[in-house]
A and B are shown apart, each in its own frame.
Chain A
């Protein structure tokens, strides 16, 4: 316990935290993310309706507008959709799905991407050439297009979305980690480890990996936002998550048909939440990228 508080004490006095306190954008970003974490963790217990429990729905309450508009009901703060589902409740549950997929995709693609990047950078040669060519080819297509193609081949489903996102997302990790690996490999502590007799795989894991984590963290943070957007786009186009587990993107789609009839709240609010979440992630990610820049070393 003592060690933990020592480290947190050191963190609170560090330059990173000091700059964080002074940066409005970073604090806003962190605040937004905290808000969303709050929604995800506590949301379902705070929202009185579970929109996916058919029994709790009232069809008569369908398409009620947000409470500040005449016709609205204070029980349904942001209005309801065509099935009587409370928009706010749907957003709470939808955010969980969106974030769950994006975080899982981030973890998977970072693990795979980092592994490929380390191998590529450390061993070099034909293997490196091959992996990087695959990455280059993949990068020449827009990631949404690739994800779309994969999903149309796989069909809908949470797991399949995860696989598509991973296939799309590994490239940036691989390239970033490969670059850092190449630069760390030149350093003498790697040669010292070789001279001490460490086998290659141990050198990669024990010496190189911890030293390439920093850019990885920055990329991972920003990638969560990107994944949220891709998943939302896929769902919006109907090839993403199944209807039984709607994410924010699917919510937007569901309300899209009636958008132009004046029933805007079912689409606009989920869309606004997507925007807010990605914006918050980008703010924090930008701050981290500037702070963790190697110039500080």
Chain B
């Protein structure tokens, strides 16, 4: 039984080299023209099964949004494989991707930029249906559109309005309706509640969970907010500098984080309610640049437990207990 989504050793690199003359560099008396490559995603592997919520967590620049865009082929991957329901879509072109776009849909972060300001709400919601290659009449489109609006808590009177007439939370509902329009099996939610106020965030999170229960699809939930990911996901993956450093069942990882970065992240998270009962780990410094990846472990510059092996050898993501994986040399003792 194949996974709904399987990502194997996914890599994504962006060439951001400036012009010819800007690249010119003289080192030790020799002229070189170095290319500037951003290593956004470096060998990421995970899978998502039917009906589950997989949370991808990390701070800014860790590559989580890039993964989302690569999975739906907004970019072509630089390496690795992507499988949807067992089908290898890594090198699919536009035409081949059309049926896949019915299976995988996206909800975006910014409610103010994710809806075309010049289109009516009904047109926005039904657009994926129109371009999914299936033949639907205009009347059917309208009917389905209104049904979707009601499903996300809006009304039929909203169908002919424009996005600027709605609040942030309502716009996000419209975005959700759009993603639902083709009955997908997997919805990739890229920071869907980060731009919303706390009280609206709760409404949208509840809505997303209710819809999932009702319609039975899966989420790839990308966020930097630890309390949100704790609430909504069944399993999580923690990312740093384009690498996955730890994965496992959410409960387990939060109760007993094993990678130093995960522990630092959980220690740093401010909390209104009770704090987590874990050994606090505090880190200093900043995330290093993705232009020049360090030779060994990606976390070496900030890890309080770094030792000699970490500087030479990149740790691999290994499963030491069933259902959990970490990439850290420290855990091999």
Contacts and interface: CB of A to CB of B under 8 A. Distances in A.
- A and B in contact, CB less than 8 Å: yes
A187 B114 CA distance: 7
Contacts of A194: 74
Interface in B61-112: 69, 72, 74, 94, 97-98, 101, 105-106, 108-110
A195 B118 CA distance: 19
Contacts of B69: 191
A196 B118 CA distance: 17
Interface in B264-315: none
Contacts of A207: 116, 119
B127 A188 contact: no
Given A192-B114, A211-B117, A197 B108 contact: no
Contact of A189 (B98, B101, B115, B128): B115
B108 A188 contact: yes
Nearest to A191: B74
B113 interface: yes
Contact of B94 (A189, A195, A199): A199
Nearest to B123: A206
A4 to B, nearest CB: 16
B106 to A, nearest CB: 5
B97 A192 contact: no
Interface residues of B, number: 26
Contact of B110 (A188, A199, A211): A188
A196 B129 CA distance: 8
Contact of B106 (A187, A192, A206, A211): A192
A195 B116 contact: no
B108 A192 contact: yes
B132 A197 contact: yes
A100 interface: no
A193 interface: yes
A195 B101 CA distance: 7
A198 B117 contact: no
A4 B133 CA distance: 35
- The A contact surface, by secondary structure, is helix
- The B contact surface, by secondary structure, is loop
A197 B69 CA distance: 13
Interface in A1-44: none
A210 B118 contact: yes
Contact of A195 (B74, B109, B117): B74
A191 B128 contact: no
A196 B114 contact: no
B258 interface: no
B178 interface: yes
Contacts of B119: 206-207
A211 B116 contact: yes
B131 interface: yes
B105 A195 contact: yes
Contact of A197 (B97, B109, B117): B97
Contact of B109 (A188, A198, A199, A211): A188
A194 B94 CA distance: 10
Contacts of A195: 72, 74, 101, 105-106, 128
Contacts of A193: 116, 127
Given A196-B131, A197-B131, A188 B113 contact: yes
Contacts of A189: 113-117
Nearest to A190: B116
A196 B231 CA distance: 28
Interface of B: 69, 72, 74, 94, 97-98, 101, 105-106, 108-110, 113-119, 127-128, 131-133, 175, 178
Interface of A: 187-189, 191-199, 202, 206-207, 210-211
5 contacts: A188-B108, A188-B113, A192-B106, A196-B132, A207-B119
Among all A-B residue pairs, the 3 with the closest Cβ atoms: A188-B114, A196-B128, A210-B118
Given A196-B101, A198-B131, 17 more contacts: A187-B113, A188-B109, A189-B113, A189-B115, A191-B74, A191-B114, A192-B114, A192-B178, A193-B127, A195-B101, A195-B106, A196-B105, A196-B128, A197-B97, A197-B98, A199-B94, A210-B118
